[in-house]
Structures are given as structure tokens and as C-alpha cells.
Structure 1
Amino acid sequence: MADTSKRKLETTLFGQKYATPLIQAPIGVQSIFNPNGEKGIAKICSELGIPFTLSTAASSTIEEVASAGRDGPRWFQLYWPTDDDITISLLRRARENKYNVLVVTLDTWSAGWRPLDLDSGYLPLVNGVGNQIGFSDPVFRAKFKEAHGIEVEDNTALASREWLKIILSGSVQPWERISFLKKNWPGPVVVKGIQHVEDAKMAVKFGCDGIIVSNHGGRQLDGAVGSLRMLQPIVEAVGKQTDVLFDSGARTGSDILKAFCLGAKGVLIGRPTMYGYAVAGEEGAREVFMGLLADLDQSMGMTGVTDLQASNTSTIVSSNEI
């Protein structure tokens, strides 16, 4: 009997209000889904007011995506280079092109064991596809030329190997190095790939502005715990000190609502958008977003939730309680 005819889907992240709770997750090499690559999704996100997160492993440059996304909100995801000069260059380019949130991926300092890719020998980055941010970076280009006496275009296979050694180095950055990013980035610094309460506490301790609870779409560690399972414990531990977002596994409006009931302030959407983009281009991606929002709105009405930000665990019944 509750009146749920007026429902609010807005959310506030890092002090900024967004019209929807959705964020496009960082996904690399989007040209394998559509020839327009990241530019097409950035355009749709801009039209819908959804933040587009550009992956470091993109098949479009920082500048191209900014142009395609026009005035829409955009975030930049960093595979943290081992070379500080290159890191600073990437951050500078992102700042200059009005990316306002930095998303630092912590769980992919090395690629996980992916049997399907290994069996087929599939890694576009090795062939230069998905390295466009690196290949267009003036500092990387200068260092590559100094080391090898040629331009990136003269030997893209070699340039690809050099770039991958920098962004997928096999070595981790310690927590103390977060201060380096905060020194060189004026906006929010968000860490992605947190799956443990103690790691979440460390993120807060070292000044991170946000946490994305994520298992990298299940692509990094076989048998890794589901992100939704860890969301509530992390929110309870640090949710009053920082904004906590959810990533990996949202497929429906009710999935998004569940994440908010467990304390998330935003939900990243990954594969569903790419499926729509691959099948029907920009229109397909738009329909995925619109379908998710419509499903979320209807799910809120059906559960008696009128304000997404006011949702809480009283709406959730765990399997242990049935």
C-alpha cells in the first residue's frame, strides 16, 4: 500500500550528484566489439549522463574519447605504470581532457591465468591493439625512441612488449605510493579490486577517496569470492569514511538494487554494455543502459523503495534467514 509512484535513482559520489547510479566499467580493447571502439560507448554515456571509465588498455586515445564524450562525465582507469614519468604524463593528459575521477586498478599488476585465451593464443595487446593510450603518449614515445632508435610505428610488436612491461609489470605498488597519485591528481582517487576488509581499511588509511569492490569480472583469480558477498562487510568497515562502489556481476535492475541495499553508492556495468555494443553498436549499448535503468526503477517500485540512496538491508533477506 506504500506510495512508490515517485522514485529517485540519483546518487552522489565524491561530492558530485549523478542522475543514475550506473558507471560504465573500464573495459579495454573495445574495438574488438565495434570498430568505433571506446568512442561509441563514451558518446552514449555522455547522452545518458553516465560516467564513462576509460581503460588504460584502450583502443582509442585519451583525447579521442574526450572528444566523443563531449561534456559527459568521464573517469580514467589507471593500470599503474612502473615508470613515474609515464604515469605523470598519463595523469596530465587525463586532467587536461576533463576526466574527473581516477580509478586505480590494483588486481591486475599481472594478467591472470586465462586458459581460453592461452589455448587460442589470444591477446590483442601483443599485436598493438589496445595500446593506443601508450602509443600516443609523448613520454613513452620519447623513451622508446631513445632506447631503440626508432618510432613506435616502425615496430609495433616491440613497442607493444615495451608498453606491456610497464603497465603489466608483474610487480605491485605499495600502499605508501598512493600519496604519489594524490600529489599528481587533483580529483578523487578510487581503488578498484578490493575484496577484503583489511585492504579496504588500508585504502582509507592511505587517503583513497573511494573503493570499488570488484573481482575483475571473475577474470583474474579462479575461484575468487563473489564481489556481492564481500560488499556488506566492506561497507560496514569503511562505508562511513569513504564511498564504496560495486563491480562484477550486475546483470539486472534487481542486482543493482541489491548492491545499494548492501551499502553501495554506485554500480559499475561491464559485460552487458559490451554485449549490446557488439550486437547493435551504439544503439545496442544505449538499450542495455535504458533497460537496466527501467528494470531498476520497476524493481524499486515493487519493493517499496522510493529513494535509492535511502535503501538499506531491511529490504534484503539472506538465504540463511529463509
Structure 2
Amino acid sequence: MEQRWQDALVARAQERLPAAVFRYFADGAGDGLTTAEAEQAWLRVRLAPRVLTDVSRVDLSSEVLGATVTTPIAIAPSSLQRLAHPDGELAMARAAAATGTLLCVPSNAGTLFSEIGDTGATWWLQLYVPEDRSLIEPVLERAAAAGARAIAVTVDAAGTRVRADLDEALDEEAAGYRLNHDDPALLGPPGHAADLGPDDLARVARLTGLPVVVKGVSRADDALRSVQAGADAVWVSNHGGRQLDRTVATAQSLGAIRDQLARDVPVFVDGGVRSGLDVLAGLALGADAVFLGRLPLYGLAAGGEAGVVEVLERVREELESALRRAGCTRPEDARGLVANQTNGP
């Protein structure tokens, strides 16, 4: 059997990375069950294609929180990208700009926000809220000034910083960790706030004037509470299985969350997405955009900016082919393709 391009990509990345760095990127929390189940959960989604439709032309362009992008495929934030490649987030941003892809930049980026903005990429800032809320103000100001289009507040990492159990420490200084922050207190304990609440969403919105996305939702009731608290969009995510092991796969929770919210509330998803067919499944379950996490990171490790572009183009090609075969000409046409295993679509 021919090796999947995704498996070959992971192998190339592993060859080029120190063992501790690769393990940090690849591993999940606890026994790694959530991380391992993520990809399989998308494989279990079943679709009921439409027929007798003209699919001679497929248009993947999408609008995400007011920004027009070439595809509903986006790049999720990943920490310590300069340990994957010396150009780190800058290479990722250039790849996003070259392909017209939405990029979410980690708040602990090793590249200045101003440099990311200069690439011309459409980008959001992912934000961890520290216990001392005042520490985020300069970070948000810099991101807004550099052209960030939204703030994705991570809500599923309360109290601790996420780390795989490593035999050796990673060189965060070499990664430029927290380059965009002023206060060294953000580098260590006490870490992320354990008392996140609605006021934090309102504060971020007030400080930036930007849309606020709540990232890290696994429950429909939490999704509704987030919107009621002022969130402009909900991002279904379990932190790549790196926070709480045995957390439900996002492919399993996405549909119920979409059904709980009004149609005009955007919903996004990540977690185990490895192909254009997975993206189609995410769109069919109700996502407005689907984020890739580890795949672009492995592309960065394997080939820098060009490696990320290759990943994005491959997944885009797979999505276009999958949409056509499913009888769809636009990403939004995928809504409703999921088959009821008993009664059909």
C-alpha cells in the first residue's frame, strides 16, 4: 500500500527535529487517548452525497468573521514554532499570506506581531489570560496595531501551562517564547488564570474592538453560555488532547454545539484534522472553518515556508475534490451531508 502523504510528512519532520521537540509537538496529555482518538473520530463520520448537480466549477472562497479567505481551511496556533524551524511563525505567516489562508498566531509567538502583520496574512491572535489581567493589555494593543482581525481566547487551559512529560527541557529562549510580552512573570508560575469568566471576554473586546472567539469548547451548554457572555464565535477544540486526557473528540461534539447556537454565530473546529475529506466532514457537521494544527507544524519542520504551503495546497486540493464528489460547489453546500446512520440524511 502506498504511504499516505501525511505519514511521509510526519516522518520527514521527525527526522529533522530533536527527539524532545518532536515529542512535545506530537504527544498529548496523560495516556494520549484523546490525541490518538482525534483522527479516528473524523474517519467515522459518514456522508450522503448529492447527485444530479452541476459541479463543473467549485469555489472554496469563504468569509470568516468579516474576512474573505480563499478556503475554509485555516491554521491553528502552535507554541514554540521556532523550534520546528528558525523562521517559526514568520514562515507560517508567509505561507498563509501566499495561499490566502487564515492564520491564528499564538500569544507566546517567537515573532513580533508587527512582522507577522507585514506579511499581509489574515490573522487572529490566540490569547492565554494570566492571573494578573493587566499583563495582557500591551499584548492586545500590539496585536490590534499589527492588524489582528480577531482574538481567540483559550478557555480550556486554566491554571497550568500545557506540556508533555519530557525527559529534557525545551529551549524556550531559543524559541523567542513570549517575545511580544513585557513582563517576565508571564514566563512561569502562576500561569494561566483559573478564574476565567464572562468579564474576561468583555475586557478583551473593550480593549481591542475586535471580535472575540472562545477557543476550547467541548460542550453545547458552554458554547451557549459563551455566546450569551458576548463571544462572537465559538471554536470547538480540546487543545489537541494536550490538556485533559479522555476528553471527547471534536468530531463527536461539533454537531451538538452547532445545533445549540443560532445560525448566524460562527463555529470553528480543530483536532485530528488530517485531510481535505476531514475538512469536508467538519463543514458537513456545521463548522464555518476548519483549523489544521499539527499538519502545518510538521510542514514547517519538514520544509519551512514551502513545507507549510505544500500542506495547505494538498489539503485544499483534497477538499475541492471531495466537495465535487459530494455534489457541492461551495463549502456551505456541505451542511447537511452527514448521514443519519439509521434513517439517512
Q: TM-score, normalised by structure 1?
A: 0.85
Letter in 1 for 2:339: V
Aligned with 1:292 (options 315, 321, 328):
315
Instruction: Give the aligned partner of residue 8 of structure 1.
Output: 59
Partner of 1:311: 334
Q: Which runs of 5+ in 1 are unaligned?
A: 141-158
Give the Cα separation in 1 of the matches to 2:253 and 2:160.
22
* Partner SS state of residue 222, structure 1: coil
The worse-fitting range, judged by mean Cα deviation, of 228-237 and 4-13 is 4-13
CA distance in 1, matches of 2:243, 2:67: 31
Matched, 1:100 2:149: yes
Is the helix fraction higher in 1 or 2?
Answer: 1
Query: Is 1:164 equivalent to 2:215 in the alignment?
Result: no
Distance 1:316 1:162 in 2: 43
1:238 and 1:124 map into 2 onto residues whose CA distance is 42
Q: 1:59 aligns with which of 82, 87, 110?
A: 110
Counterparts of 1:112 and 1:39 in 2: how far apart (Å)?
23
The structure with higher relative contact order (CA 8 Å, sep 6+) is 2
How far does the alpha carbon of each residue in 1:4-59 deviate from its partner, in whole angstroms, 9 at most, with x for none? 11112122222333221022101111011101111001011011111221101222
CA displacement at 1:179 relative to structure 2: 1.4
Q: What number of residue pairs does the alignment pair up?
A: 293
**SS in structure 1 of the partner of residue 189 of structure 2:** helix
Task: Quote the Cα distance in structure 1 between the aligned partners of 2:145 and 2:226.
Answer: 26
Listed as ranges, the gaps of 5+ residues in structure 2 are 1-51
Q: 1:215 aligns with which of 234, 238, 245?
A: 238
Against the structure 1 CA distance between its residues 265 and 227, is the aligned structure 2 distance closer, same or farther, given a 3 Å change threshold? same
- In structure 2, relative to structure 1, the CA distance for the partners of 1:281 and 1:162 (3 Å cut) is closer
* Change over 3 Å in CA distance of 1:276–1:169 after alignment to 2: closer
8 Å CA contact 1:78–1:103 kept in 2: the answer is yes
1:90 aligns with one of 126, 135, 139: 139
Aligned CA distance change for structure 1 residues 254 and 128 (closer, same or farther; 3 Å): closer
* 1:133 is aligned to 2:156: no
Sequence identity of aligned pairs in percent?
27
Q: Provide closer, same or farther for how the CA distance between residues 59 and 245 of structure 1 changes in structure 2, counting only shifts above 3 A.
A: same
Residue type matched to 1:51 in 2? L
Q: Residue 150 of structure 1 corresponds to which residue in structure 2?
A: none
Cα distance in 2 for residues equivalent to 1:290 and 1:267: 15
Paired with 1:312 and 1:48, the residues of 2 have a C-alpha distance of 25
TM superposition score normalised by structure 2: 0.79
Q: Could you tell me which of 256, 274, 278 is aligned with 2:301? A: 278
Please name the residue that 2:269 is paired with: 246
Distance in structure 1 (CA, Å) of the matches to 2:300 and 2:248: 28
Take 2:111 and 2:162, find their aligned partners in 1: how far apart are those partners? 26
| 1:204/1:241 contact within 8 Å kept | no
- Structure 2 distance, partners of 1:113, 1:86, is 20
Q: Distance in 2 between matches of 1:63 and 1:112?
A: 25
Q: Deviations over 1:220-269 (max 9, x none)?
A: 11111000111110000014241101111111111101111111000111
